[in-house]
Amino acid sequence: MTTETHPEAQLDAQPADIETQTAETEAPTVGTEAQTAQAEARTVESEAQAAPPAATKRSQIDARGLLLKLQEASPTFRDVKPLALRIDKAIAARFPDLDRKVIRSAMRLHTASTRYLKVMEKATARFDLDGKPEGEVTEEQRVHAKQTLKERFAESAKRKKDALDAEKAKREAEEAERRKAEKLQQLLGKFAKKG
């Protein structure tokens, strides 16, 4: 019959052995060294328990980080060319450690950018990760890009106009308040002279 020893018991036993050996050579510092060794052993043990298994570990990159990585690795992303349909699958195949959600978020950011939509508005071909033509841009897709840009620019212009109108209204209100205060001062001056 064999007895199993738990790793925790071994870790607790080691500092005691070290403490005994150290006590024979250096009596004054034994307690603090042993306590430090025990604390380090507990820290290592808790970190090992908290760490996820290596098999399920995914790359900790966000969508913007992925876009930067793709711009370095692919001429299609670097030159902002129209992407081939289903390019997300090619990205997942080339970078298997990436999470699908991050890939989808990165594609959404890239394809919704003004720069990409401007390219799509005039494009005729789509490109794979290596920059090779793969498919075409349809008229419907070009019209969609043009319409999206038109709406985006109109919305931006409206926001600017609203901001300018709000600023103008604020200045007018401040001017009206200044005139009102000035008139009150004049009235106070008139009544102060009469009284």
CATH code for the domain in which residue 97 is found:
1.10.1710.10
In a domain, 90, yes or no: yes
Total domains in the fold of the chain:
1
Q: Is the pTM of this model over 0.85?
A: no
Give domain status of residue 95, yes or no: yes
Cα–Cα dist 146/150, whole Å? 6
Q: Could you tell me which of 130, 36, 15 has the C-alpha nearest to residue 76?
A: 130
- Asked whether residue 184 is assigned to any structural domain, the reply reads no
CA distances from 136 to 75, 86, 128 (A): 17, 13, 11
Residues in CB range of 123: below 8 A, 6 or more apart: 81, 82, 137, 142
pLDDT at res. 191: 81
Please indicate, yes or no, if residue 166 is contained in any of the structural domains: no
**Structural domain span for residue 85:** 63-137
Whether 77 is covered by a domain: the verdict is yes
**Would you say 37 and 60 are in contact if contact means Cβ atoms under 8 Å apart?**
no
- Phi-psi region for residue 135, left (φ > 0), alpha (ψ -120 to 50) or beta? left
- Tens of pLDDT along the chain (195 residues) come to 444 444 444 444 444 444 444 444 444 444 445 454 455 545 444 444 444 443 344 557 888 999 999 999 899 999 999 999 999 999 999 989 889 999 999 999 999 999 999 999 999 999 999 999 999 999 999 999 999 999 998 998 999 999 999 999 999 999 999 999 988 888 888 787 765
Residue 18 inside a domain? The answer is no
User: In this structure, are residues 135 and 125 in contact, taking their beta carbons and an 8 Å threshold?
Assistant: yes
Whether 127 maps to a domain, the answer reads yes
pLDDT of residue 195: 57
What's the pLDDT at 12?
Answer: 44
Tell me which long-range contacts 183-191 makes (C-beta under 8 A, separation of at least 24): none
144 within domain boundaries? no
- The answer to whether 107 touches 88, Cβ cutoff 8 Å, is yes
Give me the pLDDT at residue 53, please: 41
